[in-house]
Amino acid sequence: MLRTRIIPVLLLRGESLVKTIRFDRFTYVGDPCNTVRIFNELEVDELAFLDISATRERRGPNFALLAEIATECFMPLSYGGGIHNFEDAARIFETGFEKVVINSAAFEQPQLINEIARVYGTQAVVASIDVKRTIFRREKVVTHGGRRQQLVDPVAWAIEMERRGAGEILLTSVDREGTWAGFDLDLIRRVSDAVSIPVIAHGGGGSVEHIGCAVREGGASSVALGSMVVFQKKDFGVLVSFPERAALEAVLPQ
């Protein structure tokens, strides 16, 4: 087994899977449960589902769909999107998901991180931090699907999330998400150096070499992939896949 977890991140919009570019225009990918069955056969380490419309539409998670996904899935699952309170998180765990991913709610009620971690353990809480550059190239943490800027530094927010009990950080570069251009190694390195919990690099993965760089140069503990695992290659059609183990072993620390 690889020491570094490579995690497909699948985006839900309604009851369908989609893939975005820079959190904006999206392409239809397919049915969530059918996609899970393919990843079962590919024996991936873990799957993450993020509902990209729940928070913006001011609704909660689609618990019925999550229950279907959990029934089909053979590997650990995490979910984020529309989690507004502890009760939402508890219901997600009850469906069979091992982790919840908290983003916008961490700003609205940061004590939610503490509460979930206290009851379910730090390993069950993933703090999602989305980072976008302004027209002046300054980094800003954004929430609500990238629509709302927060007045906090990404590194400082990562430290705060760890202090409150998050067991991992899902760090996403909005500017690189869906571009296949490679990860923001400088951002990953600064956050990884500042916290002692695992940092999952997300946004920009387009090759196994990019994955290796995120770990070796950026210091990421894990790598999350979107476009690479749902498309044949850039600007080509849908093909659910996963990098070959031998190719990953060649670029990752052993």
Active site residues: 130
Alpha carbon distance 35, 241 (integer Å): 10
Strand-pair partners of 170: 128, 200
96, 102, 108, 114 alpha-carbon torsion, rounded to 10°? 80
Alpha carbon distance 142, 21 (integer Å): 16
Output the CA–CA distances (angstroms, integers) from residue 93 to 27, 37, 116, 125, 228, in the order listed: 29, 21, 11, 11, 28
Structure tokens at 75: 């590997």
Alpha carbon distance 77, 75 (integer Å): 6
Query: Which amino acid, 133?
Result: R
Alpha carbon distance 143, 128 (integer Å): 9
Q: What is the DSSP letter of 23?
A: T
Alpha carbon distance 146, 11 (integer Å): 14
Alpha carbon distance 199, 137 (integer Å): 23
Q: Residue 62 is inside which H or E element, if any?
A: none
